[in-house]
A = this chain, B = another copy of it.
Amino acid sequence: MSTARHASAPFTVDLVVLTALTSELAVLLEKGKGNSGRWTLPWRLPVRSESLNAVSGRLAVSAVGSKAAWIEQLGAFGDGRAHPSLVQLSVAFVAAVPHEMAGPERGFHWFPVRDLPPLAPRHRSMVEAAIERLRMAVDRAPIAFRLLPPRFTLTELQQMYELLLGKRLHKASFRRSLQAASLVTATDEWRSEGRGRPAQLYTFAPKRKNRPARGVRFDLLGGTGV
């Protein structure tokens, strides 16, 4: 580790902002402030007594110009992986914003996650963790809905879920479980999108329901280092 020591708090707050680009997940990067002009995640040395949530929220606003649709702490990253600030510890946040939302501020740029420029090792592991966390969060928070405009077609919604989850979904099953969860209500508007039959527009209007509270999910155990 280096010996950098400045006035402000001794750790950085870093932010992984994700969005749905055309048909791919994308991360917001900033033209590196200091050293080599490389791209970095947006980050900041918070002043003391600022709360982590406040810092990350304002960092998001300063990067995309408005409040994030979803934001959550990822965790602390350190462990010798290099960081542009030379600070030992970074607290990372994940956020998601609709791409159409007032575009990124000057100096920021969207990069598809499959084709990122070289990043500091610590930033690279943050991006990986962020994508994983987003996929976990997608069915616990209404992220997909918040990335869409207020009125959307069910096909758009399904494509958003497919993009976020990184896998194809079956149309009939998707709509059945959407129906069962009573999360959307149909409007009386239809939108014709070029070729085929027009699609009905829906709005996000969740009605509280009790969770089913299934049993144990042993099946999830198969995956990783058992």
Residues in A lying within 8 Å of B, measured CB to CB: 1, 9-11, 48-49, 51-53, 73-76, 78-80, 88-89, 91, 138-142, 161, 165, 167, 169-170, 173-174, 177-178, 180-181, 183, 206, 208-213, 215-224, 226
Write the nearest CB–CB distance from A147 to chain B, whole angstroms.
14
What CA separation (Å) do A173 and B35 show in the bound complex? 59
Q: A73 touches which one: B76, B177, B208 (CB < 8 A)?
A: B76
Q: A141 touches which one: B53, B213, B221 (CB < 8 A)?
A: B221
Write the nearest CB–CB distance from A31 to chain B, whole angstroms.
27
Give the copy number.
2
Judging by beta carbons under 8 Å apart, are B9 and A177 in contact?
Answer: no
- Contact residues of A: prevailing secondary structure: loop
Q: A211 touches which one: B1, B209, B219 (CB < 8 A)?
A: B219
Judging by beta carbons under 8 Å apart, are A75 and B76 in contact?
Answer: yes
Question: Quick one: closest B residue to A218, CB to CB?
Answer: B181
A213 / chain B contacts, CB cutoff of 8 Å? 167
Judging by beta carbons under 8 Å apart, are A11 and B161 in contact?
Answer: no
Write the nearest CB–CB distance from A19 to chain B, whole angstroms.
19
Judging by beta carbons under 8 Å apart, are B177 and A221 in contact?
Answer: no
Judging by beta carbons under 8 Å apart, are B78 and A140 in contact?
Answer: no
What CA separation (Å) do A208 and B220 show in the bound complex? 11
A165 / chain B contacts, CB cutoff of 8 Å? 216
What CA separation (Å) do A91 and B80 show in the bound complex? 16
A161 / chain B contacts, CB cutoff of 8 Å? 216
Question: Quick one: closest B residue to A225, CB to CB?
Answer: B141
Write the nearest CB–CB distance from A190 to chain B, whole angstroms.
24
What CA separation (Å) do A36 and B53 show in the bound complex? 30
- What are 21 contact pairs spanning A and B, CB under 8 A? A11-B89, A49-B88, A51-B78, A73-B76, A75-B75, A75-B76, A142-B221, A165-B216, A173-B215, A174-B215, A177-B215, A177-B217, A177-B218, A178-B216, A181-B219, A181-B221, A208-B222, A209-B222, A211-B219, A211-B220, A212-B219
